[in-house]
C-alpha cells in the first residue's frame, strides 16, 4: 500500500551517506529515506538545496531499506551547488511523486541518452527478474560521459541480455547516435516493450520508431516542476501534467501530446520555448 500523500509531500531532511563522482559533470548522492525506499522505478523526488532552490530528480537507485540515490548532472546553479555537497552534508527531500515505469515480460529494450540512463537502472534491476531478455543501450557524446558501466555489467551478467554503447565521437563503442542502433535492432528483432529516458528530441525519435514497428513505449519526460503535485501547471504538455500524469508516459499518452512532445516546453514564465 502506498504511503499517505501527507507524509510523501512533507519535507524531510536526509544526510548524504555517500557522494560518488561519476564523471566530470555528474555525481551520485546516496541517502537513507524510508519513503523513497518504497518508490517505483521512474518516480521522482523534489530535492531542496537549503538557501538555493528545490529541483526534481529521478531516483537512480532504490533499496527496500531506504538506501536511495540520485544522480545529478551539473547544468544550472542549483545542480552545480548540489554537486558541491559531500558525505555528511544534508539535503531536503519531498516525494516520491508521479507514475513510474511498468515492468513488462518478454523481450524488452532499455535506451538511455546521457544521464537519462539513471532512472532506467532501478527499472532494469526489476526487469532482469521477470523478462526473457533485456537489451540495454546507452548513448553519450564521448567516453567521458559514460555512466554505470560496471553496474550494468554486473546486473546483466546472469541473464539473457545484450548491451550496446554508442558515442558521437567514436571514443567508445559504436560511433553514432543511439537511435541509429535502435533503428537497426528493431529491423532484426521483435520487442515486447521499449523503455527510454534522455533528451526529449531523442525520445521523440524513439517514439516514432516504436510506432513504426508497433512496439509499446514508456518514456520518462523532464519538465520544469515546482509543486510536484499537479497544481502549478509549469510541467504541462498538452492536457497532461508531467509531475502527476508522468513523468513516465506510455505510447497512448504520448500520441495525445505529439504536437508538443519533442518540440517545445514551458519556461519559468509559462512561455513556450523550442527544444
Q: What is the pLDDT of residues 90-120, one digit of tens each?
A: 999 999 999 999 999 999 999 999 999 999 9
Q: What are phi and psi of 149, to 5 degrees?
A: -60, -50
Eight-state DSSP code of residue 105: -
Q: Is 88 exposed, middle or buried (0-12, 13-18, 19+ CB in 10 A)?
A: exposed
Mean pLDDT score, 221-228: 91
Say what the pLDDT of residue 185 is.
97
Say what the pLDDT of residue 91 is.
95
pLDDT higher than threshold 80 for residue 1: no
Say what the pLDDT of residue 2 is.
58
Q: pLDDT category, 266, cuts 50, 70, 90?
A: confident
Q: Is 1 exposed, middle or buried (0-12, 13-18, 19+ CB in 10 A)?
A: exposed
Q: Is beta strand 53-62 parallel, antiparallel or unpaired with respect to 67-73?
A: antiparallel
pLDDT higher than threshold 90 for residue 251: yes
Mean pLDDT score, 113-131: 97
Percent of the chain with pLDDT over 70: 98
CATH of 107-274, picked from 1.20.1050.10, 3.30.300.130, 3.30.2000.10, 3.40.50.80, is: 3.40.50.80
Nearest to 44 by CA among 54, 199, 76: 54
pLDDT tens digits along 7-22:
889 999 999 999 999 9
Q: pLDDT category, 226, cuts 50, 70, 90?
A: confident
Say what the pLDDT of residue 10 is.
92
Mean pLDDT score, 207-211: 98
The number of C-alpha atoms within 13 Å of 137 and in the hemisphere containing its C-beta is 26
Q: Which of 27-36, 118-127, 133-142, 229-238 has the weakest average pLDDT?
A: 229-238
Say what the pLDDT of residue 52 is.
87
The CATH topology of domain 5-96 is Elongation Factor Tu (Ef-tu); domain 3 (2.40.30)
Length of the chain: 275
Q: Which residues contact 162 (CB under 8 A, 6 or more apart)?
A: 133, 134, 135, 136
Q: Which residues contact 159 (CB under 8 A, 6 or more apart)?
A: 128, 131, 133, 134
**Which grid coordinates are listed for 132?**
526473457
Rounded to whole angstroms, the Cα distance separating 172 from 81 reads 30
Say what the pLDDT of residue 51 is.
84
**Which grid coordinates are listed for 226?**
515546482
Domain boundaries, the chain: 5-96, 107-274
Rounded to whole angstroms, the Cα distance separating 143 from 165 reads 10
Mean pLDDT score, 204-217: 98
Amino acid at each position: 500500500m502506498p504511503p499517505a500523500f501527507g507524509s510523501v509531500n512533507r519535507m524531510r531532511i536526509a544526510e548524504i551517506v555517500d557522494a560518488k563522482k561519476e564523471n566530470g559533470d555528474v555525481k551520485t548522492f546516496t541517502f537513507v529515506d524510508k519513503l523513497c525506499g518504497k518508490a517505483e522505478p521512474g518516480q521522482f523526488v523534489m530535492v531542496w538545496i537549503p538557501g538555493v532552490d528545490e529541483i526534481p530528480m529521478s531516483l537512480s537507485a532504490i533499496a527496500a531499506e531506504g538506501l536511495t540515490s540520485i544522480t545529478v548532472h551539473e547544468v544550472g546553479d542549483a545542480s552545480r551547488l548540489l554537486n558541491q555537497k559531500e558525505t555528511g552534508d544534508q539535503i531536503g527531500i519531498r516525494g516520491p511523486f508521479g507514475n513510474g515505469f511498468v515492468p513488462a515480460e518478454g523481450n524488452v529494450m532499455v535506451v538511455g541518452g546521457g544521464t537519462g540512463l539513471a532512472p532506467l537502472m532501478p527499472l532494469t534491476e526489476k526487469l532482469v527478474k521477470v523478462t526473457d531478455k533485456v537489451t540495454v543501450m546507452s548513448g553519450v557524446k564521448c567516453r567521458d560521459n559514460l555512466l554505470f558501466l560496471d553496474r550494468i555489467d554486473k546486473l546483466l551478467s546472469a541473464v539473457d541480455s545484450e548491451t550496446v554503447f554508442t558515442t558521437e565521437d567514436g571514443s567508445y563503442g559504436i560511433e553514432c547516435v543511439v537511435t541509429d542502433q535502435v533503428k537497426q535492432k528493431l529491423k532484426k528483432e521483435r520487442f515486447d516493450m521499449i523503455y527510454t529516458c534522455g533528451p526529449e528530441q531523442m525520445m521523440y525519435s524513439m517514439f516514432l520508431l516504436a510506432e513504426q514497428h508497433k512496439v509499446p513505449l514508456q518514456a520518462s519526460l523532464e519538465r520544469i516542476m515546482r509543486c510536484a503535485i499537479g497544481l502549478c501547471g509549469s510541467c504541462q504538455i498538452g492536457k497532461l501534467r508531467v509531475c502527476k500524469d508522468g513523468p513516465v508516459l506510455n505510447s497512448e499518452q504520448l500520441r495525445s501530446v505529439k504536437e508538443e512532445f519533442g518540440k517545445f516546453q514551458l519556461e519559468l514564465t509559462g512561455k513556450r520555448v523550442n527544444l
